[in-house]
Structure 1
Amino acid sequence: MLNERSGGRINAQHFPAAQLGGLSELLEGSRIGTIQVTTAGPDSEEAIAPEIAAFGGAPGFIYKSEEHVDAVLQGELGQQVSDIARAKTGVEFVAYGETGFRHILSKNPVHSLDDLNGLKIRVPELKIWVDFWTLLGAAPTPLPYSEQYSALSTGIIDAIDSDVFSIVGFKFYEQAPHLTLTGHWFLPKAVRVNAAWLDSLPEDLQTLVRESAKEVFAEQRAINRANADKTLEELKTLGVQVYELPAEERARMEELTAPLFDEFGSKSPETAEMIKKIRDLG
C-alpha cells in the first residue's frame, strides 16, 4: 500500500519470521533507525518507559474487555502514549493492532492454579512477564518467540501463553494439545515507526504513513475479533482439548498477581498514573 500510494517514493520491504533478528534487535533497530518500522507490544518498553509498558497489558488482567481495549488504545490515551514513546524511545506509535487475549497452551491439562506449580512456561524476555508467572507458582522461561515450537518439542518448556491465531498459524498445538481459556493478558501491537525517519519524509508522505497504518490496522482488529471464535473451533477440530478455567480459579489468578499493579506503579509517578487511567476506563 505504501509503495503504491507513494508512487514509488517509499520502497517498503517486508521481513517476517525474525529475519532481521529477535525482539531485542528489532526494538533497538527501530529506535536507532536501522529498521524503519516494526510492531511490538508496548510492554516491550518496560526498561525505558514503564508507563508505556502498562499500556501494553502489563501487569496482566489490566484490560477487562475488547471495549475497554478500544477505549484506551483508540482514544486520547493512545495518542498520549505515542507522544511518550516518541520522546523517550525515538519511535512513534502510528497505529495499534492486536493479537487479542492470551490463554495457556500446555502439554498437559491446566484446570486450576495447582496445575501451574512448577510449570515451565515460555515468556518474552521481559521482567514483568517473569514476575507475573512467578507469582502464580509457575517456572517462567524467557525465550525468543521464534524458539517456542522447538522448545516445546524438546521439553525445554511445558507450555506457552498465546492468542488462538498464533497457536494455529505456528502449529504450536502439534506439541501442546491442551488449551485453557484464561484471558489473563491482552497484548496490543504498536506499529512503531522510527521518528527521525518519519520526520525526514515530505509532509504528504508522513501523512501517508500514519493514515495507511491506521487504515490497515483498523481492518486487522476487525478481522481478528470476527475470527476468534471460528479459530477456536478450528483448534478443536485439530485435536486440541479446550477448557474453561473456573471463575474462582481465574479470580485467584487476579488476586495473586494484583500486587504487581502497585509494584509496577512504583517505578514512577507517571506509571502509577497511567495504570489508574487505564483501569478507570474499564
Structure 2
Amino acid sequence: MRTDRRAFLARLAAMPFAIPALKRAHAATPIVAASLLGDDKPETLVWTHIKETVERELPGRFAFNIVPNAALGGEKEVAEGIRLGSIQASLSTLSNLSTWVPETQLFDLPFLFRDAARLQASLEGACGGDLGEKLAEQGIVAPAFINYGARHLLAREPLLSPDQVKGKRIRVIQSPLHAQLWESFGAHPIALPITETYNALSTGHVDAMDLTISAYAGFRLYEVVPHVTLTGHIHAAGAVIFSGRFWKGLDEESRSVLQKAATEGARHFNTLMAADEKTSMKAASESGASFHEVTDRAAWEAPARKVWESFAGRLGGMARIEAVQKNTCGS
C-alpha cells in the first residue's frame, strides 16, 4: 500500500514537468515563407493555399509565417536566406537561381518555348527532374515548378522594333544571360534588384526593362514605364523552393505532405497567375498604360537566338538546348 502511494505521489509530482515537456515535443515547426509582392498577388496567395493544405493533413505540425512585400529582401537575398536556412520557403524565378545552378538558364533562353503549355511539359518531365537534383545539391529543394508568365518589354516611350532598343539603358535581372540578351539588341544592360526598379525608371537611371504583366502591375511600374511591347520573349519559369537545411530536418511524413502541398500549390499558382495577368493588364490600361503588339516577330527573334549559340557551350551544347525545348531530356 505504501509502495503504491509513494509511486502515485511520485507520478503526481512529476506531472508539472511532464506537461511542458509534452508541449515542447509537439511544438509547431516554424516556416517563414517570403513573398516579393502583396497579400492579393499569386506570389503570396500560393503560400496561403499551401499552408491550408498542410494544416488539413498535419494540424499543428507547422506554424507558417507568410511575409509579403519583399520585407525580407529581393529575390537574390531571399534565395541566399533559403540556402542559409534563415528563410524556410519562397518562390523564385529560375533565372535568379542561376548564381548557384547555371543550368537553370536553359529555361530562360529567349524564344525557347512557343507557349506556356510547352514550358510546363518540359518542367514537369525529365528536364525538370534533372534541374531539381542540381538545385538540391546547392541547398535548394524545389518540389514543384511554376510559370510566372511571359516577359515583355516595358519602356518610358514606345519601343516597337529592335532598332529602337539600341542604345537604351535597360534594367536586367542579375543574370549574365539576360544581360547578353539585351546586348544582342545593342542596349546597355544594368543589373538591379526588382525592388530598386521603380526609382531607377522614374529618375531616368534606366530607360526600360522586361517583366511579366502581373509583376508590372504589382509594382505599379505603369506609373513610370507606360509602354509595353508584347514580345513574350521569355516564359518566366520558377519554382516553389524550400531550404535544404530545413528539409533535411523533417521526417518522411512531413516531407511527403509538403511535397504534395507544393505540387498542388504550383498548379493553383499557375491558375491564379493566368487570371491575374488579365486583371493586371486591365488595371494597367485603366491607369494609362499602352500595350503594343509585335508586328515582325522574326526581327525580334533573330538577335535573341544568338544567345542560344553563345550559351550552348556552358549549358550542355545545342543538343541539350533542343532537348529541353522538345522535352526529350533523358531519351
Higher relative contact order, chain-length normalized (CA < 8 Å, sep 6+): 1
Runs of 4+ in 1 over 6 A off after TM superposition: none
- Percentage identity across paired residues of the two chains: 28
| Residue of 77, 87, 90 corresponding to 1:35 | 87
Higher mean C-alpha deviation, range 65-74 or range 10-19: 10-19
Deviations 1:169-193 (A, max 9, x none): 2111011111111001111121111
Match of 1:12 in 2: 64
Q: Distance in 1 between matches of 2:199 and 2:126?
A: 41
Q: Distance in 2 between matches of 1:16 and 1:273?
A: 40
| Residue of 114, 122, 125 corresponding to 1:64 | 114
Q: Is the 8 A contact 1:17 1:146 kept in 2?
A: no
What secondary structure, in the 3-state scheme, does the structure 2 residue paired with 1:14 have?
A: strand
How far is the alpha carbon of 1:227 from its aligned partner? 4.3
What secondary structure, in the 3-state scheme, does the structure 2 residue paired with 1:92 have?
A: strand
> Aligned runs of 1:26-175 on 2, under 5 Å?
26-55=78-107, 57=108, 59-87=109-137, 89-175=138-224
Deviations 1:9-60 (A, max 9, x none): 21221222332223332222212322221221122233432222213x2x21
> Aligned runs of 1:198-237 on 2, under 5 Å?
198-237=247-286
Q: What residue ranges of structure 1 are gaps of 5+ in the alignment?
A: none
Higher mean C-alpha deviation, range 19-28 or range 163-172: 19-28
Q: Counterpart amino acid of 2:312? A: G
How far is the alpha carbon of 1:226 from its aligned partner? 3.7
Q: 1:277 aligned to 2:323?
A: yes
What secondary structure, in the 3-state scheme, does the structure 1 residue paired with 2:67 have?
A: coil
Q: Counterpart amino acid of 2:304? A: T
Match of 2:3 in 1: none
Q: Distance in 2 between matches of 1:206 and 1:67?
A: 28
What secondary structure, in the 3-state scheme, does the structure 2 residue paired with 1:161 have?
A: strand
| Residue of 282, 287, 290 corresponding to 1:238 | 287
Deviations 1:81-127 (A, max 9, x none): 1122112x121111122220011111101111121011121111111
Q: Is the 8 A contact 1:44 1:53 kept in 2?
A: no
Q: Counterpart amino acid of 1:27? A: A
Q: Counterpart amino acid of 1:17? A: N
Q: Is the 8 A contact 2:161 2:300 kept in 1?
A: no
How far is the alpha carbon of 1:72 from its aligned partner? 0.8
The alignment's TM-score, normalised by the length of structure 1, stands at 0.90
Q: Is the 8 A contact 2:127 2:327 kept in 1?
A: no
Q: Distance in 2 between matches of 1:268 and 1:234?
A: 39
Q: Is the 8 A contact 1:179 1:243 kept in 2?
A: yes
> Kindly tell me: are residues 268 and 153 of structure 1, through their superposed partners in 2, closer, same or farther at Cα, counting changes over 3 Å?
closer
Q: Is the 8 A contact 2:116 2:147 kept in 1?
A: no
Q: Distance in 2 between matches of 1:210 and 1:273?
A: 31
What secondary structure, in the 3-state scheme, does the structure 2 residue paired with 1:38 have?
A: strand
The alignment's TM-score, normalised by the length of structure 2, stands at 0.78
Deviations 1:53-81 (A, max 9, x none): 213x2x21112111211211222322221
How far is the alpha carbon of 1:252 from its aligned partner? 2.1
Q: Is the 8 A contact 2:139 2:243 kept in 1?
A: yes
What secondary structure, in the 3-state scheme, does the structure 2 residue paired with 1:242 have?
A: strand
How far is the alpha carbon of 1:273 from its aligned partner? 5.0
> Kindly tell me: are residues 24 and 86 of structure 1, through their superposed partners in 2, closer, same or farther at Cα, counting changes over 3 Å?
same
Q: Is the 8 A contact 1:51 1:272 kept in 2?
A: no
> Kindly tell me: are residues 147 and 268 of structure 1, through their superposed partners in 2, closer, same or farther at Cα, counting changes over 3 Å?
closer
Q: Distance in 1 between matches of 2:96 and 2:320?
A: 16
Q: What residue ranges of structure 2 are gaps of 5+ in the alignment?
A: 1-50
| Residue of 230, 233, 252 corresponding to 1:181 | 230
Q: Counterpart amino acid of 2:321? A: I
Q: Matched residue pairs, number?
A: 276
Q: Counterpart amino acid of 1:75? A: G
How far is the alpha carbon of 1:165 from its aligned partner? 1.1
How far is the alpha carbon of 1:230 from its aligned partner? 4.4
